């Protein structure tokens, strides 16, 4: 397939390009030469005549989205509208990457694909608006909700915990934010399988199982041989930031798991592999 990856130089986009590269012809589209919020970018996308557009680009700084909600809407919602319209014109299928944050976090078991989204912060509202544009303009789409990404070279939670531990000798981490740590190479493999099915729809692709930020931090420090570093439990209410995440934000991979047999391995196994690589760098 001819696949265009919008946001192809981001954390997920890079890994997708590498994983899909041997089997498909890949075009990477990203700032500064490609801007999905402008009309020229859309013309460029149409002229590539892709079979599939994988759209990973976003304003991912959730706190900035909270401070500048119109900018979040311009990039994440209107940018996605543009990409969807380009797919419509090019007769391309689209895979839109969305987020676990579209849910409000009040459920006490993992969110299924059929649960009703209810965003509680501007980042999540702008990503959900993107989902709605995709559904409005296209018949052939995948919406893939993901969570808590990390990979070598990315800007992510395990790296921040290790840096904080080295700098301060201890870390304070929230116990009441729950999610699914997701290793980007595992996600890229699952996306590669999904796009070959042409089984369009809404999917949750996440590392199997879920945990709190606090337990994840403890596991990270253990894996890095830093288990002696104290981890102080704290709560979201005491951790002042501009964007409030859903408290129970764990997703369940029900649709891809049961219908297509596409699953990611348990998050603890993936983290162990990540640290095998990390410890060698």
Ligand X SMILES: NC(=O)c1ccc[n+]([C@@H]2O[C@H](COP(=O)([O-])OP(=O)(O)OC[C@H]3O[C@@H](n4cnc5c(N)ncnc54)[C@H](OP(=O)(O)O)[C@@H]3O)[C@@H](O)[C@H]2O)c1
Q: Provide the binding-site residues for ligand X, judged by CB under 6 A.
A: 7, 9-13, 30-31, 34-37, 56-58, 60, 75, 79, 97, 99, 127, 146-149
- How many whole angstroms separate alpha carbon 177 and alpha carbon 214? 8
**String of b and e for 237-251 (b: at least 16 CB within 10 Å)?**
eeeeeebbbbbbbbb
The answer to whether the CB of 105 falls within 8 A of the CB of 60 is no
Cβ closest to ligand X, residue 34 vs residue 229 = 34
Q: Which residue is at the shortest CB distance from ligand X?
A: 10
- Of the candidates 96, 123, 133, 210, the residue annotated as catalytic is 123
How many Å separate Cα 139 from the centre of its chain? Answer: 22
Q: Is the dihedral of CA 18, 192, 178, 249 positive or negative?
A: positive
CB nearer to ligand X: pick between 161 and 229: 161
Q: Let me know: does 266 contact 203? Beta carbons within 8 Å.
A: no
Q: Cis bond leading into 32, ω under 30°?
A: yes
10 Å Cβ neighbour count for 41?
20
**CB nearer to ligand X: pick between 50 and 79:** 79
Contact indicator for 147, 99 with CB cutoff of 8 Å: yes
Would you state the structure tokens that stand for residue 21, as one six-digit string? 């590269």
- Nearest-angstrom CA–CA distance, 250 and 50: 33
Judge whether 123 counts as a catalytic residue: yes
Closest distance between ligand X and the C-beta of residue 15, in Å? 8
The DSSP result for 182-251, as a single string, is EEHHHHHHHHHHHHHHT--EEEE---BS-EEHHHHHHHHHHHTT-TTS-EEEE-GGGS--SSPPPSB--B
Task: Please list the active-site residues.
Answer: 123
């Amino acid at each position: 397939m001819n696949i265009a990856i919008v946001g192809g130089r981001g954390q997920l986009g890079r890994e997708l390009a590498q994983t899909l590269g041997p089997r498909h012809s890949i075009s990477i589209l990203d700032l500064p030469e490609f801007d999905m919020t402008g009309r020229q970018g859309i013309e460029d996308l149409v002229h590539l005549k892709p079979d599939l557009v994988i759209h990973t680009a976003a304003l991912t700084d959730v706190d900035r989205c909270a401070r500048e909600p119109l900018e979040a809407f311009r990039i994440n919602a209107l940018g996605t509208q543009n990409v969807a319209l380009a797919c419509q014109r090019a007769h391309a299928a689209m895979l839109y990457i969305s987020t676990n944050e579209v849910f409000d976090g009040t459920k006490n078991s993992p969110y299924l694909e059929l649960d009703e989204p209810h965003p509680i912060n501007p980042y999540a509202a702008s990503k959900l608006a993107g989902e709605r544009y995709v559904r409005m303009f296209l018949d052939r789409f995948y919406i893939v909700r993901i969570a808590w990404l990390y990979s070598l070279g990315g800007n992510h939670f395990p790296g921040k915990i290790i840096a904080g531990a080295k700098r301060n000798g201890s870390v304070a981490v929230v116990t009441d934010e729950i999610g699914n740590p997701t290793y980007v190479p595992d996600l890229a493999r699952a996306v590669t399988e999904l796009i070959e099915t042409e089984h369009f729809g809404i999917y949750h692709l996440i590392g199997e199982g879920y945990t709190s930020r606090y337990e994840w931090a403890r596991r990270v420090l253990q894996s890095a041989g830093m288990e002696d570093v104290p981890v102080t439990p704290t709560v979201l209410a005491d951790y002042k930031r501009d964007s409030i995440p859903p408290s129970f934000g764990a997703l369940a991979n029900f649709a891809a798991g049961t219908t297509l047999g596409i699953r990611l391995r348990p998050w603890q196994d993936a983290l162990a592999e990540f640290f095998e690589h990390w410890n060698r760098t």
